[in-house]
A and B are shown apart, each in its own frame.
Chain A
Amino acid sequence: MINIDTTGMICPQPLIETRRALKRAQEGEEIVVIGDNETAMNNILTYLKDQHIQADVTTSGNEFTLRINATEGFNPEVKAEAYCCPTPSANDGSYVVVIKSILMGDGDPDLGAILMKGFLNALLEVEPLPTHIVFYNSGVNLVVNGSGVDSTLKELEQKGIKIIVCGTCVDYYNIKREIAVGTISNMLQITEILKDAGHIVQP
């Protein structure tokens, strides 16, 4: 028997793990997959059904258990990714907030600054919260001590939101020592986050 725990994983990872198990399973060997992502479970079931592989499903709350019997029907050439949406988080309402300036909108700087503070403080009350807030260009100046929203951003981080700060921009503005919150990141990671975002909110 092969046990796979996909708890905490999002699509397509649970399906990729299931496919790997099917590749290495002996004929008739049982594969038990547990997880907590309903979308991933449904994608696994569709994948198995298309290959005429039997699976028993039990669910309890968000958690699921699949008992799969590896059979001759398995075709390792069928890619797992084909059974997942191209943007993994697009179906679950998740989103990324991008802050590219200390100002919200164009126009008067005083007005733009106050609007941005209002936006970030309002974000605390919004459901669902974004998965990430990405700061770049002059936006990075909002993550420093005394920005007026540093305490709000700490609260958001404590709620599990990842605060991502452009390292190039931090270097440009020379504010590394003043950063109060967030993780300094590079363009590769920022690009990955934006690429995988269900949608992007940019005030």
Chain B
Amino acid sequence: MTETIIILQNIRQVIKTEKWCVNNLVDHKIVPVPKEYSSECGMCILIQSEIPESLISYLEESNFTFQIKDYKTA
């Protein structure tokens, strides 16, 4: 199964993106950012399938700075 996380710049962007996922019926989970990517307390969005193009468009149109990474639990 493809497991990808979207790491955003701050928690406010995570909250907005999570609401977008809920409203657009995109399956997701809120998980802590794995230690290998950041030692800080942060949340990211886990997508357990292909990331929809519409989500990428939303992130870009919102001018969010984001990274897409493989999900590996520490």
Question: Which residues from chain A sit less than 8 Å from chain B, CB to CB?
Answer: 110-111, 114-115, 117-118, 121-122, 125, 148-149, 151-152
Q: By CB atoms of chain A within 10 A, which of B11, B31, B46 has the most?
A: B31
A118→B32 contact, CB < 8 A: yes
Contact of A125 among B14, B18, B73 (CB under 8 A): B73
Does B22 interact with chain A (Cβ within 8 Å)?
A: yes
Closest Cβ of chain A to B18, distance in Å, is: 6
Which residues on B sit within 8 Å (CB–CB) of A151? 29
B30→A118 contact, CB < 8 A: yes
Closest Cβ of chain A to B63, distance in Å, is: 20
Closest Cβ of chain A to B37, distance in Å, is: 14
Which residues on B sit within 8 Å (CB–CB) of A110? 15
Closest Cβ of chain A to B27, distance in Å, is: 8
Which residues on B sit within 8 Å (CB–CB) of A118? 30-32, 43
B29→A114 contact, CB < 8 A: no
Closest chain B residue, CB of each to CB of A151: B29
Chain B: number of interface residues, binned into ranges:
10 to 19
B43→A115 contact, CB < 8 A: yes
B43→A114 contact, CB < 8 A: yes
Among B55-74, those with CB < 8 Å from A are: 73-74
Which residues on A sit within 8 Å (CB–CB) of B74? 125
Question: Which residues from chain B sit less than 8 Å from chain A, CB to CB?
Answer: 11, 14-15, 18, 22, 29-32, 43, 46, 73-74
Closest Cβ of chain A to B38, distance in Å, is: 13
Cα–Cα, bound, A110→B74 (Å):
26
Cα–Cα, bound, A78→B31 (Å):
51
Cα–Cα, bound, A79→B34 (Å):
50
Cα–Cα, bound, A118→B46 (Å):
10
Instruction: Given A111-B11, A114-B15, A115-B43, decide whether A122 and B32 contact each other with a Cβ distance below 8 A.
Output: yes
A148→B73 contact, CB < 8 A: no
Contact of A121 among B11, B15, B30 (CB under 8 A): B30
Cα–Cα, bound, A125→B74 (Å):
9
Closest Cβ of chain B to A94, distance in Å, is: 22
Which residues on B sit within 8 Å (CB–CB) of A148? 18, 22, 29-30
**Can you offer 24 A-B residue contacts whose CB atoms are under 8 A?**
A110-B15, A111-B11, A111-B15, A114-B11, A114-B14, A114-B15, A114-B18, A114-B43, A115-B43, A117-B18, A117-B29, A117-B43, A118-B30, A118-B31, A118-B32, A118-B43, A121-B29, A121-B31, A122-B32, A125-B73, A125-B74, A148-B18, A148-B29, A151-B29
Closest Cβ of chain B to A201, distance in Å, is: 16
Which residues on A sit within 8 Å (CB–CB) of B29? 117, 121, 148-149, 151-152
